[in-house]
Amino acid sequence: MLNNIFNCKLQLLPLKYFNSNYCFCAKQTSIISLRRNFHFELSKFFISSNTSNKLQARKFLNNLLQIGRKSGKPLRLFSLSLGAFYPLNRVAQCKQQQSTRIDHFQKTKQFIAPSSVTWTEFWLLIKPYIHWLICAALAAGFVAALNIQIPIILGQLVNQIYSLIKQNDVIVNFGELKPIAFKLISVYVSQALATFLCIASLSQMGERMCADLRVRLFSHLLELPMPFFDAQNSGELSDRLNFDVQQFKSSFKEFLKVTPPSHLIFFNFRIVGCVCSLYLLSPQMTLFTVGIVPIVVATGALFGAILRKLSARAQSQSGIVAGVAAEAFQNIRTVKIFAMEEAELSLYEREVNKSKSLYGQLGLGIGLFQAASNLFLNGLIFGVLYGGGQLVISNALSPGDLMAFLVTAQTIQRSLAQLSFVFGSGIKVWFSCGRIMEILRLDPQYGKSGTFIIPVHSFVGNIELSNIYFSYPTRPGHEVLKGLNMNIGNGQTIAICGLSGAGKSTVASLIERIYEPVAGRIKLDGIELNKLDPKWLRRNVFGVISQEPVLFSTSIRENIRYGKIDATENEIRHAAALANASQFIEQFPQGYDTVVGERGVTLSGGQKQRIAIARALLKNTPILILDEATSALDTESERLIHQALNRALKGRTVIIIAHRLSTIRNADCIYVLEDGQVVEKGTHQQLIKNRNGKYHGLIKEQEHFQNNDIDA
């Protein structure tokens, strides 16, 4: 329900908050992350019994309230609603009308098979940090050895005091207690130092391991082929990269219990040490005390099988929730233009409620296990008091030994009581790690085969496509290209035209090795494309200008040199001048340091396109691919861009994916595609003469629409 409130208020925010590169938060935190933190911190505030967690959550919520007070009306409204339930621990529900746009959320096809992590994979994950774990284990073993001594020393101290009291002397010599007291204090201090060493080692291990895991996961995602991303929701991937890794880190540290007194390693060593102490004190009572342990373990195994499946479903649903929110924010302009805030909220609320139900069931299961464990373990203490009292009465056990036995039994009881918490955290660790490993298991070799590089002195730039068949992996039953053949000579300007869906952009994607053909061969200078290094091809051979240029939320300078990080300032300015972009860039108060916002939202379409052209020209590649680069621009922007392109295309091999046929009249060869096949090819003059040809029909159709626009 808290997620519903948060997203309801976000829907009310004006576009200016989404247009900035930091949204409405003063820090550079995405809305998805802020929503996730909002839910996480409120959960800690309302549920956690840990004081530091409550203070941390209170600080986060106070900061969020301050943001609201300093912002406009929508954010003040958000702060007001937050302040209404924050001090009272109440949750308000955001009411909305029922949406009729979405009945079911269509989930993207998953290429990821759900599975859990194996022990081998988990071992390989922690292996680089095993020295930290060994250090922690040695420290924990030392603490366990001291724990064996503490009850014995306490028993000796009680027996000594009892002996002094029974002497009935007028003056009791308490000096006799000093050796035992000093020994006890020394053990306590040593235990504290060893505990610090163990906790510090495990903390370092957890932070380093999870930081490296996040980088490794991001690196692996970047290497995965385009078909993988076609089938995935970006919110789901962000959820795995951010939330799953964060949950793995938090749960792993909780699993190892980095706060005393119940560390996971302590749990193992403590149980062994305390059982030894119990046996030394009273072999008869040890059998009763230890006999309860298998019951707890068996109960945990029974609950584990059920809760593991439930945890997997809950985490999968969490990814769906993140995907719905990410999709809404990525398309926030469309949402607001069509006034679909309520529909998006209805969809989001439905998925959140599913997640709430699954996590609620998971919490009930863990709570039931914890309650049963506590019932068993409290009975342990009762049994020790009852049985030990009988032995003291019969003089089979001294009061000091009973005291020592009780302390030891309570130590076992506290350690076993933590089993429920360790059990719950262990489930989260296992499945967070499993979801991460599902990504890491994916083979990135698709589209990566080939390591050959054509030397500069022998590079020509001839491209040949022979009998190409292709279907997109997300639509395997639909052939986009069917036996396509094409030859592109060095220095030629080649145009590809046809109706929408004919396969024009697909040809460009295959040449760039974004996708691999199902059948057929693509060659560059006689060498099959799949034998060449794909990164070398994209960095040094191909420059691409797409119909919808993608800019990053950084400065104009960084966007221009994105494909050539080491470019000098002069090279950047020269490329901008060639692209007819320098004039409007220099008119900005911050010039090349101007931040363009997310996806270049602060720039016009023509300005974004010219920056994209400058970026492609800066690479200075021999082959340039223009994928309908001017189809969505106004006349003036198109004129400026054509001026830039005419200068840039000299001496290069150019492939033009054409929408406006007026832009390709001077091409050396025009390929006309229909239904994934080349139906015509030739120059403009050759093709226009065939009045029954497809090209002639396309020309006349465009002229007809243009004349109608002029008449209107």
Work out the average pLDDT over 603-616. Answer: 84
Work out the average pLDDT over 453-468. Answer: 87
Between strands 493-498 and 669-674, the pairing is parallel
Q: Is the dihedral of CA 324, 326, 332, 334 positive or negative?
A: negative
Q: How far apart are CA 550 and CA 3, in angstroms?
A: 31
Q: How far apart are CA 148 and CA 272, in angstroms?
A: 9
Please tell me the least confidently modeled range out of 188-197, 285-294, 570-579: 285-294
Quickly list DSSP for 103-167: SS--PPPP-SPP----HHHHHHHHGGGHHHHHHHHHHHHHHHHHHHHHHHHHHHHHHHHHHHHHT
Taking CA 304 as the corner, what is the angle to CA 298 and CA 306, rounded to the nearest 5 degrees? 120
What is the structure's pLDDT at 171? Answer: 56
Using an 8 Å Cβ cutoff, are 198 and 140 in contact? yes
Q: How far apart are CA 345 and CA 322, in angstroms?
A: 13
Instruction: For tokens 């933190």, name the residue.
Output: 37
Instruction: For tokens 């997203």, name the residue.
Output: 7
What is the structure's pLDDT at 253? Answer: 67
Q: How far apart are CA 327 and CA 509, in angstroms?
A: 25
Residue 81 CB coordination number (10 Å): 17
457-711: what fold? Rossmann fold (3.40.50)
Residues 414-442 have pLDDT tens digits of: 666 666 566 666 767 777 787 788 888 88
What is the structure's pLDDT at 603? Answer: 83
Work out the average pLDDT over 538-564. Answer: 84
50: pLDDT strictly greater than 70: no
Q: What confidence category does residue 288 fall into, taking pLDDT thresholds of 50, 70 and 90?
A: low
Domain 119-167+174-440 belongs in CATH node 1.50.10.10? no
Q: How far apart are CA 89 and CA 289, in angstroms?
A: 42
Please tell me the least confidently modeled range out of 202-211, 226-235, 417-426: 417-426
- Are 119-167+174-440 and 457-711 in the same CATH fold? no
Q: What confidence category does residue 70 fall into, taking pLDDT thresholds of 50, 70 and 90?
A: very low
Please tell me the least confidently modeled range out of 6-15, 28-37, 60-69, 135-144: 28-37
Map out the domains of the chain as residue ranges.
2-85, 119-167+174-440, 457-711
Between strands 677-682 and 493-498, the pairing is unpaired
59: pLDDT strictly greater than 70: no
E strands, 397-474, are 463-471
Using an 8 Å Cβ cutoff, are 487 and 523 in contact? no
Mean pLDDT, the chain, whole residue set = 72
Q: 3-state class of 506 per DSSP? A: helix
End-to-end CA distance of the chain: 52
Predicted model pTM = 0.62
Q: How far apart are CA 59 and CA 209, in angstroms?
A: 27
Instruction: For tokens 């439930």, name the residue.
Output: 310
Residue 369 CB coordination number (10 Å): 22
Work out the average pLDDT over 118-129. Answer: 82
677: pLDDT strictly greater than 50: yes
